[in-house]
Structure 1
Amino acid sequence: MATYVRLPMATSMPTSSSSSQLPGRRNLRTFCAMNARNQAKIPMPPLNPKDPFLSKLASVAASSPETLLNRPVNSELPPYMDIFESPRLMATPAQVERSVSYNEHRPRKPPPDLPSLLLHGRIVYVGMPLVPAVTELVVAELMYLQYMDPKEPIFIYINSTGTTRDDGETVGMETEGFAIYDAMMQLQNEIHTVAVGAAIGQACLLLAAGSKGKRFMMPHAKAMIQQPRVPSSGLMPASDVLIRAQEVITNRDTLVKLLAKHTGNSVETVASAMRRPYYMDSTRAKEFGVIDRILWRGQEKVMSDVATPEEWDKGSGIKVVDGF
């Protein structure tokens, strides 16, 4: 803001040469009055008392006006900035607060990791094979969500190959899947399970272990049940290999019983399907009892537009006879 500073100026008095042009005391009084009127017409904006620069400048002009009149010729500082002991034009960039209009969506602190963001929405995402690190994280999240609110539902999204990889190699023990299953059974919350991608082996058991009526599957997801596999035992003695084989058979029987319990099928039906890898798309998984509904956008509107059986009979000309 441009500001004018009034400085005390010496009034030019007429010399002997100009005294002839202003004869008498009356003409001198008239000259002074005209000079005062001309100075009154100069606009003088008000001085902001809160402005440190203008306050300092005004105080210097009042105390020692020669400091402002005798300016240095080749000064490297901006005008009138040399009167300050330590001139500062503005604060450092770190001290300047960014405006909200600069980026109102910019976070003020680093965002948390992805599991924490999903956990805020009560979502537990199982997106890796069931290795000990995954089991530890999933069980801890389930316990935390129940501690925060034992009445709100918990959503488990599953995209896992279970305790094996895609090529069938064992990466974890069967107890990893059983640990998550037992944690789910101990919860008081309603559990919604959703299959996105694949739910294979133990992951298929977790999908089927959701609350009745709350087990979902994406249209192009896959579910598969298979027998547990014996881990690599190349350097083990024959007796130890036999012990491991018996443990795998025990885990297989436990898996068959749990799948039969949650799918509504008999133990013989599940055991017969698990003799070889049994793949199921969303439709077959619903028929087998692994899920309750298939999730796809717009299905509610399509189902609401479907005519009732009575309307179909009426439209086709079929008459319903009373008594039959």
Structure 2
Amino acid sequence: MIVGTMMAANVRVPMLLSSPSPSSTRRGCRNLRTSCSFNAATYKPKIPMPPLNPNDPFLSKLASVAASSPQTLLNPSSNKDMPPYLDIFDSPNLMATPAQVERSVSYNEHRPRRPPPDLPSLLLHGRIIYIGMPLVPAVTELVVAELMYLQYMDPKEPIYIYINSTGTTRDDGETVGMETEGFAIYDAMMQLKNEIHTVAVGAAIGQACLLLSAGTPGRRFMMPHAKAMIQQPRVPSSGLMPASDVLIRAKEVIINRDILVKLLAKHTGNSEETVASVMKRPYYMDSTKAKEFGVIDKILWRGQEKVMADVAAPEDWDKGAGIKVVDGF
């Protein structure tokens, strides 16, 4: 009996020592609620970053200017015919003088005092959408979202689309995206109320050339050494598909080709027969040929417009040279 009582005591003591007290139980529950609850003050959503090409010359130039002279980017050019941030390629001196810095002081609370820490935010602040990669689904998703966001922010201000893209193919011609990626961006552009200024700052190939030509008439630009090219859509890799599936894909590519021909003819002012004829093989265009074909409206020459505007008329030249025009001749 004594042994049984001692064994029972030995069994009960550890149980009593291991059982939590009411206060510790409440404390543990409180800590559990704190660790599992949603803290809105410290929560920071992860903003999706666009895919960027680290070797892109436009982004490299923009990054160097943002690091050396941020006021150059915070004070866009007053020239209405020059899309924002492109004057950095024309100005030989990018360092702001003290007088320029003093004049650029802004007391608008909605305007940042320094460039955002990343280039996509800097471009979006200037209402610029930059397409610097092939039209893969991630790029299309971001471009359409930015178009909708910029229209939401201001439905009257223009939106600038800078293009340096090989379309739905890579440099070597391999297909990386469906033709519907380009059509999705095109449809979004057509639905917007804003003016859309398109600028080719590198290459605009295939579907990217369609986006370049789909800008607001009179507001389609091209840098002097940019290239544009239109070509037929390519059949994606068929692999080990059955013959019937390959035929279905081929028919879909032909349908996309016909749609591309109609849209290019609509925005370039050419007939569908002309566009279809030049698209039989890859058709490359420099800035001058692209303007003649109707893809763009203006070439952004380095100050050429100002130089030509300052040239005196022939009559003024004759007057300054002392030449007098005789009546009757």
TM normalised by structure 2 equals 0.61
Equivalence for 2:189: 184
Indicate conservation of the 8 Å contact 1:219/1:282, yes or no: yes
Equivalence for 2:167: 162
The total of aligned residue pairs comes to 217
The equivalent position to 1:208 in structure 2, one of 205, 213, 222, is: 213
Matched, 1:280 2:285: yes
Instruction: Go from structure 1 to structure 2 and tell me whether the alpha carbon gap of 1:195 and 1:305 turns closer, same or farther (over 3 Å shift).
Output: same
> In structure 1, what is the Cα distance between the partners aligned to 2:247 and 2:125?
46
TM normalised by structure 1 equals 0.62
Indicate conservation of the 8 Å contact 2:202/2:226, yes or no: yes
Equivalence for 1:234: 239
Indicate conservation of the 8 Å contact 1:219/1:294, yes or no: yes
The equivalent position to 2:145 in structure 1, one of 121, 140, 144, is: 140
> In structure 2, what is the Cα distance between the partners aligned to 1:108 and 1:300?
32
> In structure 2, what is the Cα distance between the partners aligned to 1:291 and 1:321?
44
Instruction: Go from structure 1 to structure 2 and tell me whether the alpha carbon gap of 1:109 and 1:199 turns closer, same or farther (over 3 Å shift).
Output: closer
Q: Note the alpha carbon deviations across 1:250-305, whole angstroms, 9 max, x for none.
A: 00000000000000011011011100000000000000000000002212222203
1:263-302 matches, within 5 Å, as 263-302=268-307
- What runs of 5+ residues in structure 1 fail to find an aligned partner? 1-104
Instruction: Go from structure 1 to structure 2 and tell me whether the alpha carbon gap of 1:279 and 1:321 turns closer, same or farther (over 3 Å shift).
Output: farther
Equivalence for 1:129: 134
Instruction: Go from structure 1 to structure 2 and tell me whether the alpha carbon gap of 1:239 and 1:157 turns closer, same or farther (over 3 Å shift).
Output: same
The equivalent position to 2:157 in structure 1, one of 107, 132, 152, is: 152
Q: Using the aligned pairs only, state the percent identity.
A: 87
* One-letter amino acid of the counterpart of residue 277, structure 1: P
Indicate conservation of the 8 Å contact 2:115/2:122, yes or no: no
Equivalence for 1:71: none
Higher Rg of the two aligned structures: 1
Equivalence for 1:253: 258
* One-letter amino acid of the counterpart of residue 253, structure 1: D
Bigger share in helix: 2
> In structure 1, what is the Cα distance between the partners aligned to 2:249 and 2:214?
27
Q: Secondary structure at the match of 2:235?
A: coil
Deviation at 1:114, TM superposition (A): 2.1
Runs (4+) off by over 6 Å = 107-110, 309-322
Q: Secondary structure at the match of 1:178?
A: helix
Q: Note the alpha carbon deviations across 1:35-55, whole angstroms, 9 max, x for none.
A: xxxxxxxxxxxxxxxxxxxxx
* One-letter amino acid of the counterpart of residue 175, structure 1: T
Indicate conservation of the 8 Å contact 1:313/1:319, yes or no: no
